[in-house]
Amino acid sequence: MNRWQRRTIYYLFVLTGFVFAFTLVYQYGMTNFENRPRSFLRSLQIVVETFTTTGFGSDAPWETTFMNVVIIAMDTIGTVMIFLALPVFLFPAMEDVLSTSVPGAVENGLSDHVVIATFSPRADTLISELEDRGVEYVLVEPDRDQAATLRENDYNVINAEPDVVDGLRGANVAEARALVADVSDRVDTSIVLTAREISEDVRVVSVVEDPDSTRYHELAGADVVLSPRPLLGERLAEVISTGVTTELGDGIEVGEDFEIAELLVHHGSPLAETTLATSGLRERTGVNVIGAWFGGEFQTPVDPDRALKPGTVLLVSGREHQLEQVEQVPKSAVREFERGEVLVVGHGQVGQAITSALAADGQPYTVLNLNDAPGVDVVGTASDENALREAGIEDARSVILAIPDDTETEFATLVMRDLNTDLDIAARTEEEEAVQKMYRAGANYVLSLAQVAGRMTASAVLDDETVISMDTQVNIRRTEAPGLVGQTLADADVRTRTGCTVIAVERDGKVQTNVGPDFRVESGDRLIIAGTDKETAHFRQLLG
């Protein structure tokens, strides 16, 4: 029963009660005070005429005070009930007429599409990935108002329940290339079971919150079960504990003995306040600096004279031994004798993955969480100054924010930065839109769950390896580029036109890393490019 139906029932119940009560009072008053007895039916007629204003005065005038008070009360309450009927009946009816109509099923003929249940920031990232590849999709959204809003914003959506047979049949799941279930762990298993009732062949991808529930999703029939939260937590721990990651996921190794890494410039690092030209990074390690994040903005190529501030994230490429040398740079002068504790705020799935990774690396840490639980050292909110001081914020070297509320994360970052200006702050966000606000608030490194989950799901749904980096700020992809065949990178002006950097090329099964401005693209080459999500999408649309 929806809200409108409940309000209608309540209104009719109250209205009936008033009519019945006034009928009895009117019959009693006419008999005992006016000496003009009326039957129950006649009394009911007078009350209805008064409430509806369709007739009045057939028994007037009334001589006694009691009856005049009764009539005044009937007039007042009848008028109120008429005005109350407007929001109960008329306004919802007009809203239904004027609101966007959302279908309950897709049009006939839709096939090889991706069914997504339901809408979320993670689903929005997945949709961007699908649109980038020209793959059709349909959202199955059970909330009617949400579905209407999505349709007004040009999403392909149907209003249906994703965990019932009719709902998934309405999405034509039997002809789909894949189904993505990403609601909650329990609902997702129901969606998977429903999908298997309709089709045993459709590829089903389930996104779990708790990795321990993976087995049950597999038992329900999911082909792929993804757990992005632990991956996100491990990545944040790596950034804070070492400042560099040479293993950015299963597919990050671009070629044999050639990898890509992100290097966070910590407070107190020997790289801080230098420039790329004066840092000696290339001379000391032999790596190439592909680009850098300055306050959340990706720049490629990097201005050699721009200062590397704490919080700058360098994207570098090189051989395995070169990246191992890079890993020692932030440690060499500072981090061995200044190992202050890491403060982990939040102890959910992401927070627990963070503490596990820190413990494996031998890093001391303190956990602050809203509720007491095993592994929690201090209980309090992320923005509570007293709780933060108790947790050692003023002496901490680094903080990792792992709470699922973006607004609270932003405010907590401001509080922490005020309490300790030299903190290295890494944080998760739920939505990609919150990433830039986090940088403005003072965070050094930010990853959104929507971005990580969206990339993972896109790779699983499409069953390809074009997305190389799942858990980095920069999007690194393999892609063919027919629009570049026969041209050199300088002639094509790839950076200016797309914002992306070509960092390597796969040709005849081998990876070539010497891809300077004079490198000429040949038919069959697969380019490995780096850029933001929007830039890599633009590259594929323009040249792919």
State residue 1's pLDDT score. Answer: 54
pLDDT digits (tens, 9 = 90+) for 343-384: 999 999 999 999 999 998 888 999 999 999 999 999 999 999
Which residues make Cβ contacts (< 8 Å) with residue 84, sequence separation at least 6? 11
The CATH class given to the 114-226 domain equals alpha beta
Q: DSSP of 469-526, one letter per residue?
A: -SSSSSEEEEEE-GGGTT-BHHHHTHHHHHS-EEEEEEETTEEE----TT-B--TT-E
State residue 100's pLDDT score. Answer: 59
Which residues make Cβ contacts (< 8 Å) with residue 393, sequence separation at least 6? 343, 399, 416, 419, 420, 423
For residue 502, what are the CA distances in angstroms to 265, 480, 535? 24, 12, 12
Residues 494, 491: Cα–Cα separation, whole Å: 8
Paired tokens of 127: 């949709």
User: Which residues are paired to 179 by β-bridges?
Assistant: 115, 204
474-543 to CATH, choices 3.60.15.10, 1.25.40.390, 1.10.240.10, 3.30.70.1450: 3.30.70.1450
Positive or negative, the CA dihedral 428, 433, 438, 443 is positive
3-98 to CATH, choices 1.10.645.10, 1.10.287.70, 3.40.190.10, 1.10.10.10: 1.10.287.70
pLDDT digits (tens, 9 = 90+) for 61-85: 888 999 889 888 888 888 888 777 7
Do 125 and 450 contact (CB within 8 A), yes or no?
Answer: yes
State residue 248's pLDDT score. Answer: 35
Dihedral, 190, 192, 198, 199 alpha carbons, nearest 10: -170
In the chain, where are the structural domains located? 3-98, 114-226, 232-450, 474-543
Residues 90, 520: Cα–Cα separation, whole Å: 68
Q: Cα 48 from chain centroid?
A: 54
Positive or negative, the CA dihedral 183, 189, 195, 200 is positive
Domain 232-450 of CATH type 3.40.50.720 = yes
Q: Is there a shared CATH topology between the 3-98 domain and the 114-226 domain? A: no
pLDDT in tens, the chain (544 residues): 556 677 778 888 888 999 999 999 999 988 999 889 999 998 888 888 888 877 666 788 888 999 889 888 888 888 888 777 777 666 666 655 555 578 889 877 789 999 999 899 899 989 988 887 789 999 999 998 899 899 989 999 999 999 999 999 999 999 999 999 999 999 999 999 999 999 999 999 999 999 999 999 999 999 999 999 998 998 888 888 764 443 333 334 555 567 777 777 877 777 877 888 888 788 888 888 888 878 777 777 788 888 888 778 888 877 777 777 766 665 443 333 344 589 999 999 999 999 999 998 888 999 999 999 999 999 999 999 999 999 999 999 899 999 999 999 999 999 999 999 988 899 999 998 898 899 999 998 898 999 888 888 988 887 655 666 666 667 778 888 888 899 988 888 888 888 888 888 888 878 887 788 888 999 888 888 887 778 888 888 887 7
Residues 464, 276: Cα–Cα separation, whole Å: 36
| Omega before residue 301 within 30° of 0, cis | yes
Q: What is the pTM for the complete model shown?
A: 0.70
Hunting for tokens 């039957």 — which residue is that?
39
Name the 3-class secondary structure at 37. coil
